[in-house]
């Protein structure tokens, strides 16, 4: 269980560090995120900026929390809260049949669709696995090789999550924008 504990936290560390970093790299990136939030029409206009700032702050906090074993369980709860909100927002957008996207990880922007629900659900599973394994870890005894393998596998998985739209395009083809 200790390796699952390490791997799940490592995946979420990388994914949320990249996501927050993509939105914080400059003002234009944050504005693009805010514009994506506006286009989704899931947050009232008067609270859009505070919500955008809170989301990015929480995304930036997740890597710090999951990195430290003493705060990792709290970090996983924050992660689950964010991912649940993201998933519900994507579901609301796709249910309404709108062609809306978000620059979640930087420049690549694909309209929300089932693939994003799959990605978010997979990340929720990783966070739940982290919570379960973290609660089960009692001694934390691990070998260096096992820890390195868990972290290495986690980085590969996290990289696939970050480039998920590109991978999905290769496997099933690009998402077609619905006519307005």
Nearest to 102 by CA among 120, 125, 80: 120
pLDDT per residue rounded down to tens, the chain (180 residues): 889 999 999 999 999 999 999 899 999 989 988 888 888 888 899 999 999 999 999 999 999 999 998 999 999 999 999 999 999 999 999 998 888 887 777 666 678 888 889 999 999 999 999 999 988 776 667 888 988 998 898 888 888 888 877 676 667 666 555 444
Kindly report the pTM of this predicted structure.
0.85
Number of C-beta neighbours around residue 44 at 10 A: 8
Q: 5-16 burial by CB neighbour count: b if 16+ within 10 A, else e? A: bbbbbbbbbbbb
Looking at residue 104, the DSSP 8-state letter turns out to be T
The domain segmentation of the chain, as residue ranges, is 2-172
What are 143's two structure tokens?
A: 């070998």
């Amino acid at each position: 269980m200790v390796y699952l504990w390490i791997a799940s936290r490592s995946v979420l560390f990388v994914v949320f560090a990249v996501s927050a970093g993509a939105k914080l790299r400059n003002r234009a990136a944050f504005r693009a995120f805010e514009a994506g939030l506006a286009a989704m029409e899931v947050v009232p206009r008067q609270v859009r900026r505070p919500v955008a700032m809170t989301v990015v702050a929480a995304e930036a906090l997740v890597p710090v929390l999951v990195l430290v074993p003493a705060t990792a369980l709290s970090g996983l709860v924050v992660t689950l809260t964010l991912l649940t909100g993201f998933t519900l927002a994507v579901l609301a957008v796709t249910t309404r049949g709108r062609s809306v996207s978000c620059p979640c990880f930087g420049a690549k922007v694909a309209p929300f669709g089932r693939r994003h629900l799959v990605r978010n659900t997979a990340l929720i599973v990783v966070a739940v696995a982290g919570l379960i394994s973290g609660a089960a870890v009692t001694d934390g005894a691990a070998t260096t090789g096992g820890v390195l393998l868990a972290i290495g596998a986690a980085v590969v998985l996290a990289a696939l999550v970050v480039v998920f739209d590109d991978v999905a395009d290769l496997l099933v083809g690009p998402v077609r924008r619905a006519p307005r």
